[in-house]
Structure 1
Amino acid sequence: MSELFNSKLCAICKGRKLLCGRPTCPILERFRVARNVEQKLNKRHLFGSSPPSVFVGEYGYPKVRIGPLVPPIEGKTDYLDNPLKWENKTIKDILYYRSMLVMGETKADVSVRKSGRILSEVQELAMSVKPVDSEILLRRKPVLKVIPSEFAPPVGPKAELLDFELTENPRIPRRTDYVVSDELKAEQAIMRLYNWGFDEYYIIRLLSAGLLGVDKRLVPTRWSITTVQDTIGKNLRREILHYPEINDYEVYFYRFMGNRYTVLLMPETYAFELLEVWLKGSLFGAEEPRVIHDYEDFRGRKEYVRETAGAYHAARLSVLEALRARRRQARAVVFREVTPEYYAPVGVWQLRLGVKKAMGNPIGRFETLNEALDVIRRRLEHPFERYLQRSYVLGALARQKTLDEWLGNVLT
């Protein structure tokens, strides 16, 4: 099924027969979550502790929808919007957390100089590293809508914002104040914060809220995620090119939230490729699943990622961080297989974390490429020959003598 919902199939199934092949109905799951939180959100005036969290939409750019996300509860709420705390959570947990965050949205020009008091309050919220008590007044009661996205985590209930106010002082680090007030280019600001130890999700929030760069502008959340991960990745790539190559062929594997991640590292000059398959019965899977891919060599990419989009930058960053920690370089191929267990998209953070966990879970080291590929082939659910047909990195190697014998065994 190539779409999230198939009206004809869903009408027959009604969520009971699971005709789509998924372990749970994504439509009914969202209704269950909405029912669990609707009593707490059934009002126009909300007071609570924002994780902190803000969201900037992309529709209508350069006039975009922006707003704070505030839950109807007080106290330690950072777990509601912090992927670093979701390692052991389920998809249902994530849907519930996001459904607790009410977005009061208002329209704003991306040029922050043209915006007023509410944006200033939102920016103060974005800079905080601790939850901030906040108050929002909405035009009507918030409504939860199902908007599938592979990029940002699911958006919770929302309604038009009439007023927003911080009711306590946000906790803002001195280094954040320094970077925001200094005339730094966005790339410089991102890398300075990253090297100081600020996590990327905090940096994404600052960029999205129009706090980084010389010409400060609001950046849609989806774009901010890709921009920050791509910027950090490019800088790490330039660094690891000065390191020696690894010595063996290495295979890593991890299963996370219905996604299977297999990573192959080869003792050669740096290159990276992501091979992705949405298996039959998965969220965006088709009757005949196809392999999509994107790659780069040591020179990087000169154009936008065409097929795997934000997933590419998330996976690449996790591999590059692992190589940087070892002070080594390698040629890397990541295989992502999405199973029916991944019944609702929760954002590329799960891919970022899934590959990161894979890099900490080695399957083995091998003297030859053939041995490594044999192990990988046995772990993949999709036919390995189809990966070879689409892969630039493995396809190039397949034309070399080192793979001739192995391919002959696999394809006969």
Structure 2
Amino acid sequence: MTQGSATAGELSSDTISQEVDTFEEIWSLATLYGNEGNPILQKFAISGRFHADYSHLESNQGDYSDFDARRLRIGFKSQWFQDFTLHVEADLDAENVDFDFDSESYKGLTDAYLGWSPNKQWNLKLGKQSAGFTLDGKTSSKKLLTLERSNLANNLWFSKEYFTGISASVKHNKWSYFAGAFSSAVPKELTEFDAGNFGILSTYYDLTDQTGGEESILTLDYVYNEPHQNNGTRSFEQVVSLNHRYENDLWGLRSEVSAGQGYDDQSDVWGVSIMPFYNLNDKLQLVTRYTHMTSADANGLRLNRYENIIESGRGDSYHEGYAGLNWYIYNHKLKCQSGVTYTQMRDLTNDGGAYDGWGLNLGLRMYW
């Protein structure tokens, strides 16, 4: 290596370091108070996220193009008495921002819980919180590698996401366990207990020592959902998901196979999703995904968010291919994402639900 190239490399490293320091300084402004030595209040920080999308879809069933200010949330997260976390966050209409909580722009609370974590092995939450299962369903929208959750999650997971309940997680050596019980009602704030209930049991096993890499986690999720006419969940009485996350410095693979037992008019559904990704460098990442789903009976499957605007009917067999590029400006806290999808859904009854088309999606993701 010549002296000139070494100098260029050093300058490049210095530039990256300066960028990181600048972002850290900006993001640190969200922490309004921090003092680990205070026995009562250790931290108080503003929390939230902003997501924006541009989507262009062309299909045999119609076209769609629009800009969507997707998510805007604002709240706070605080640490008390060393072991307790109080987190409250509100969901706002990003296209009609009005901080008057009596206005239509206030959509309700997402997180509103008290957490207790006496050590790194135990965590207990009481209140409104994310009820995660399936591979993408348990991944925060802040840290998705694709612009949309897989349609397997969209069909089986309870996409309202935030439910009032109690949950506990514990870690022991290579094993981790999660158990949660929730009300299926979805009011703006805490639950009204006018619907059914559901429970989640998850078991995690750390395979990193066997497979190498930075992360290798195998997870089994089981959900029992009490059927009720007022449920804000999907109409599945039972859901099972086996999923795996693997990642090393250069590449990773996320995969799952999941199935749901429907009730009322909802058919039983099963599907698979596989998502390989490759890190070009510290900033750029290539992501691909293939998703397939089948329902036991007709009209058991729904399309994903933007395809559903074009065709809101239901089908019985689904295929999707995705290829995207992520640009991590400041890790997941500030990133731009792009993706191209090809989606096909069959509708044997021919009563509205068939879909065949391409889509281009661009997105900005930011959280603090």
Q: TM-score range by the shorter chain?
A: 0.3 to 0.5
TM (normalized to structure 1)? 0.30
TM (normalized to structure 2)? 0.32
Greater helix fraction, Structure 1 or Structure 2: 1
- Pick 1 or 2: higher relative contact order, CA cutoff 8 A, min separation 6: 1
